Each structure stands twice: as structure tokens, then as C-alpha cells.
Amino acid sequence: MFFNILRVASNAATFLLVSLIFTLMSAIFSFSSAQSTYDKIKTSKLIIAGNSGSYPPFEMMDGNNLIGFDVDLAEELGKRMGVKIKFEVIDFKGLIASLTSKRVDVLISAVTWTPERAERISFSTPYYNAGIGALFRDKNPISSPQDLTGKIVGVQLGSSGDLYVREKVGSLVKEVKTYDDIMLAVKDLENGRVEAVVNPIPVLRHNAKSSAGIRVTDVWDSRIVGINTRKEDADLLAEINKHIGAMKSDGFLDRIDKKWFGVK
């Protein structure tokens, strides 16, 4: 009987210990769940950011190092927020899923605003207008889409520049030449085989920077980009917007724009 009493007491103590452990785990889990992404960032001093690593000059790999406009932007944002930003390089088609699944905290990867994307994720105040425009030679100036009338225009096959030309000015141009690689279109522009190349402005400006006698138009059709958060992370988005606004005001965005694109 004495041993039965001990056994009962032991079982009761074990049950109590297990109950306490479960209660503690539940409390920890509840606290963790109640924390917002921004709360966790302030505690850990770390932001995990998704980036495609393949949209020069916004982001590109230099050996094992990720470099580009977005990397400079992220580093400056981290300094102003008092946190470190660590990048995860993810194929572009998987970026949005990586954010919504909480694999990363934010996306800093020149993601273009579209109505469909805006339904799934939030966009910060735009930090760049990656809109459509044209590359042209000094001796054959172009300023507006109407200036493409009667001209031979080069586009990258399937690109937004290709779609823009066919949908907006297809009836005006003399001929549309398509290329698998935008660099081939630029080379034909330099050699006079096409009179303009229509494409997203960032890519055009990147090429104009290293091509003598080549210029870029202003943006013809807006394609704004921003930093992305999950829909529920309004406090984090507000903090990011505050710093992007300051970067615009103090000239930081203009400085990295000149560094990576060079040509207006």
C-alpha cells in the first residue's frame, strides 16, 4: 500500500510537471504569435529580404556577392532602422510566395506594382519608376512615342517593351524587329540597323551608360517599383515608407541612381 501511495504521488507530480511544461510552451507560442513582424525585427535587429539577384543594375551577382541599386538601398535602409539586412537570393517567380509564406520578411527586388500583385502583397512608397521608354542615337533624336512614326524599332521578344510597341504604337512604326537578347537590339541601334529600342527604362539606362552617342527618353508609361511587405505588416510598411521619404528628400536615392544608371 505504501508503494501504491508513492506511485500515485509520483504520477501526480509527473502530470503536474507535464502540465506546467505545456502551459509554458503555450504561453511562449502565444507571445510569439502575437508579435508582429516589425516587433520581431526590433528584437532581433535583423531583416530577411528576398531578392532575385538577376535584374541588373538593380541586382546582380558579382562572383558570390550580391550588388546593385537595391543592395545599396537595403543597406542604407538597415542603417536608418538600426538593423542588419540579410538577403536570400530567390528565383523571381518564387519571390512573392517566399514573402507570403514568411520565408522572408520583406522583398527588396525592384518588384513592379501591378493590380494583381497589390492584391497579394503591400507596396511601399515607390523608390523608382522603371517605366517604358526608348533608347536612341544622338543624330536621330526621339522624345515621345509619336516620334517612332515611320521608324524601325527594336524590342526584346516577349518583354513589356515589345507589348508596349505592339499595343500602343504598332500602327505608327515602319517595322518591329525582335531580339532574344536586349543587348543584340542595342548593338543594332549602335550600328544603325534600328532607329530606336523600346524597353523598360532601367535596362536602357544601364546600356546607355556604356554606349557612346546613345540617349534615353523620359518615361512614357509608368512602371513603379517599391519594397514589399505582407498585408498584415502595416507598422513595418509605415517605418519603411518613412525612411524612403527621407532618402528622397536628402538626395540618397538620386546618388545611387547616378551611381548605377548614370544617364538621365
- How many of the other CB atoms lie within 10 Å of CB of 113? 17
Return d(Cα 173, Cα 148) in angstroms, integer.
Answer: 6
163 vs 68, more confident: 68
Pair (122, 228) in one structural domain: yes
Pair (42, 122) in one structural domain: yes
Pair (74, 153) in one structural domain: no
Cell of 52: 532575385
Pair (25, 148) in one structural domain: no
113 vs 233, more confident: 233
- The dihedral sign for the CA sequence 160, 166, 172, 176: positive
Pair (207, 231) in one structural domain: no
pLDDT at 167 over 70: yes
Return d(Cα 56, Cα 51) in angstroms, integer.
Answer: 12
Cell of 10: 509520483
Q: What is the tens place of the pLDDT at every residue in 27-40?
A: 454 444 568 999 99
The answer to whether the CB of 182 falls within 8 A of the CB of 159 is: yes
159 vs 205, more confident: 205
Mean pLDDT is lowest, of 81-95, 143-157, 158-172, for 158-172
- How many of the other CB atoms lie within 10 Å of CB of 79? 12
Pair (144, 212) in one structural domain: yes
Mean pLDDT of 213-229: 93
The CATH number of residue 109's host domain is 3.40.190.10
Question: Nearest 5 degrees, angle CA 36-CA 107-CA 67?
Answer: 135
Mean pLDDT of 15-36: 56
pLDDT at 17 over 50: yes
For 53: left if phi > 0, alpha if psi spans -120 to 50, otherwise beta; the answer is left
% of the chain surpassing 70 pLDDT: 86
The answer to whether the CB of 110 falls within 8 A of the CB of 131 is: no
pLDDT at 263 over 80: no
Mean pLDDT of 197-203: 89
Q: Tell me the average pLDDT of the chain.
A: 87
Number of structural domains the chain divides into = 3
Which domain range does residue 108 map to?
37-129+224-260
Question: Nearest 5 degrees, angle CA 261-CA 156-CA 67?
Answer: 35
pLDDT of residue 51: 96
Cβ partners under 8 Å of residue 250, min gap 6: none
pLDDT of residue 9: 47
pLDDT of residue 169: 94
211 vs 101, more confident: 101
177 vs 12, more confident: 177
pLDDT of residue 6: 44
Pair (186, 249) in one structural domain: no
Pair (234, 123) in one structural domain: yes
